[in-house]
Structure 1
Amino acid sequence: MAAFWQRKAQRLARADGSRKGALDERAAPVVQLLNGRAQFCTTSSCSGRIVLAQGGAAVSAAAPSAIQKKNCTWLMVTHEMCIKDDVMTALEKATGDVVLKFEPFVLHVLCQELQDAQLLHSVAIDSGFRNSGITVGRGGKIMMAVRSTHCLEVPLSHKGKLMVSEEYIEFLIHAANRKMEENTRRIDRLYKSLELALGTAVSANTSPSDETDKNRSVYFHRRKRKTIQEQNVHTSPKDHNEELEPEDDTEINLEIFAEIMI
């Protein structure tokens, strides 16, 4: 438990590791909701994006302003819906093999206990992120990944030469934008479901103490009645009547019954 809190403190103390140095606006509510709970700590996220990615010769030939990532160059990236003019302008810079990609929302969460990861996994699956999963690493580190198969990847050019028509590119952009809209709906559904599930979990965690208090109340009344009965052996009928005057057996039985029924 102490190890989890230490990891969370270290993670949240760091600056955002993304190129823009901040959370994606659409992912921020989910990230903040989870980090506000003691049992969760988000480690990375992306709200979803449309990318023109170039590989091969693009790594050495890319312009200085291009975004480099694992042997590929991003000629264009947006976390919103895109338009044809932006895509065509980006394709003019192509010198290698270029693909148009839509990558959906992804979120990695460090969890304190396995049951916390299972709760998050269930919510993610129900919200449409059906490629989500849980991994347990060395030292009991529990990671939950929220992922989806709601992807798109289509090649557009080879060695800088455009291999498809502009009409087809326009069709692909329309398909990618529809996926972005669906991605947004799933994120909203995930957030609302998380709010409900985490609220329910808190209620469930507090209910056992309420039951304990009720059981203690019933136990107290039963002990009190037993004590009175034991004292009857050493008291006269007169004393016995005085002892039961504040609360007779019938009242005790009714009170116990009421406690059990609540």
Structure 2
Amino acid sequence: MAAFRQQKAQRLARADASRKGALDEGAAAVVQLLNGRARFCTTSSCSGRLVLVQGGAAGINSCEIQKKDCTWLMVTHAMCTKDDVMTALEKATGDVVLKFEPFVLHVLCQELQDAQLLQSVAIESGFRNSGITVGRGGKIVMAVRSTHCLEVPLSHKGKLMVSEEYIEYLIQVANQKMEENTRRIDRFYKRLELALKMAISANNSPSEETEKNRSVYIHRRKRKTILEQDVHTSPKDRNEELQPEDDTESNLDIFAEIVI
């Protein structure tokens, strides 16, 4: 626990090394929720983005930009228009790819069960490519990912290879993915908040054995009280108590408590 706490403090004290240099607004709530818990520490995040990247592009099946030897002509964490893309393409001199990259989050976890909780919530929220890795030193990292991405080549050696009409269609598709991405982040945050509260409640609740012992103690107290009352009750009082309204059904209830 102490080692994890120290590691977390060191990580959170580091300067933001991302291109933006700050936390994305769309991911801030989730990041703050996790970092506010002692057992978690976020190491990187992106709320989701639309980008035009020139050179150094990843393969067609990849959802991640290869940052080496590439130029970002446009990047936005919100929806965009065809005009935004066309303006950025005017600066193109090489091969340009339009990409939508969904929400991604990496979280350092204190124990494996913590990572499993996050993975379960992530998958239920729509991030079905989420997974857990365990390093040689025992470092446990849970990654929230999905395949909800898009990657389409637009130009080659600076020459536009598709029509403006097709670009407009691509932007519509990308914006729809951005909207769905936002819904999934919101769903993830709400389910994560609930799961963390339930986990705390479960840890603070009495154990099954404790509840069992408490139940036995209560029944023994009831039995002792009934027997003491019976000893101090005169035959006359007992006869008066056995009126029609205090019939067999009432006595059976008392007997049931004693037996239990």
TM-score where L is the length of structure 2: 0.79
| Residue aligning to 1:190 | 188
Aligned to 1:105: 103
**Could you give the per-residue CA deviations for residues 129-180 of structure 1, whole angstroms, max 9, x where no partner exists?**
0100000002210000000000000000001111001111111011100000
| Alignment-mate amino acid for residue 8 of structure 2 | K
User: Which 5+ residue runs of structure 2 have no aligned equivalent?
Assistant: 58-65, 233-253
User: What residue is the counterpart of 1:64 in the other structure?
Assistant: none
Q: Does 1:55 align with 2:79?
A: no
- Specify the alignment match of 2:19 in structure 1: 19
| 2:80 equivalent among 82, 86, 104 | 82
- The amino acid that maps onto 2:121 is V
**Equivalent-residue separation in structure 2 for 1:81 and 1:220 (angstroms):** 63
Higher mean C-alpha deviation, range 79-88 or range 11-20:
11-20
CA contact (8 A) 1:56 1:96 kept: no
Q: Distance in 2 between matches of 1:71 and 1:184?
A: 30
TM norm structure 1: 0.78
- Structure 1: which 5+ runs fail to align? 58-67, 227-240, 246-250, 258-262
Q: C-alpha separation between the residues in 1 aligned to 2:79 and 2:68?
A: 24
Contact 2:56/2:67, CA 8 A, preserved across alignment = no
1:153 corresponds in structure 2 to 151
Deviation at 1:220, TM superposition (A): 9.1
Q: Is 1:8 matched up with 2:12?
A: no
The DSSP-based 3-state class of the residue aligned with 2:205 is helix
Q: Report the 3-state secondary structure (helix = DSSP H, G, I; strand = E; otherwise coil) of the residue aligned with 2:162.
A: coil
2:165 to 164, 167, 182: 167
What residue number does 2:115 align with? Answer: 117
CA-CA distance at 1:198 after TM superposition:
0.9
Contact 1:218 1:256 in 2 (8 A): no
Distance 1:41 1:4, change over 3 A: same
| Cα gap change, 1:122 to 1:86, in 2 (>3 Å) | same
Q: Is the 8 A contact 2:48 2:181 kept in 1?
A: yes
SS at match of 1:124: helix
Deviations 1:200-246 (A, max 9, x none): 111111123586266257459869x99xxxxxxxxxxxxxx8xx87x
Structure 2: how far apart are the matches of 1:190 and 1:217?
39
SS across alignment from 1:191: helix
Q: Which shows bigger deviation, 213-222 or 179-188? A: 213-222
